[in-house]
Structure 1
């Protein structure tokens, strides 16, 4: 994992209640949500179990792993795994779990 020497703080929103959290560029969205007091479903924290599977309603993320547990179609449709997704902008997530 690369080290962000100058982390940026973005604004995140967790739907359906528009709960706001600080989304730091140097850590996964799940960690930022938890630090903000948001209890988001999670399990493996490495992008394989898909428990945190979410729809990125707005914003952009990046991954530091080659295969983040999403199909190309899911990525195209805007789905993310917050446990391994790092924000590149303000974000709005909606839990899309099964």
Structure 2
């Protein structure tokens, strides 16, 4: 029987940091627990302070419409404060 991993790994580019990414909590929370300093503010998907680029991997959202346009979603933008990992992920910080 093939069981899902209890956690995934989040790799942060370009600095190469990584942390455990727990599927039951948002990526931002996992990154903070792993000692990664990532910009954030509202923590509910509206302010966009934490926006990043999902270079590799998959995430899911538990809210119907996180603060991303369809174009941003198509380009791989994610909001780590409300994004839950579904696999190992590679995340690149925003250049804002």
TM band (smaller chain):
over 0.9
Give the TM-score taking structure 1 as reference length.
0.91
Cα RMSD, aligned residues only: 1.3
1:8: how far off? 2.7
Displaced runs of 4 or more, over 4 A: none
Give the TM-score taking structure 2 as reference length.
0.93
Change (3 A) 1:7 1:26: farther
Counterpart among 81, 84, 91 of residue 83 in structure 1: 81
Alignment of 1:33-72 (within 5 A): 33-72=31-70
1:20: how far off? 0.8
1:15: how far off? 1.2
Counterpart among 17, 20, 24 of residue 18 in structure 2: 20
Aligned length: 93
Alignment gaps of 5+ in structure 1? 1-5
1:18: how far off? 1.3
CA distance in 1 between counterparts of 2:26 and 2:5 reads: 12
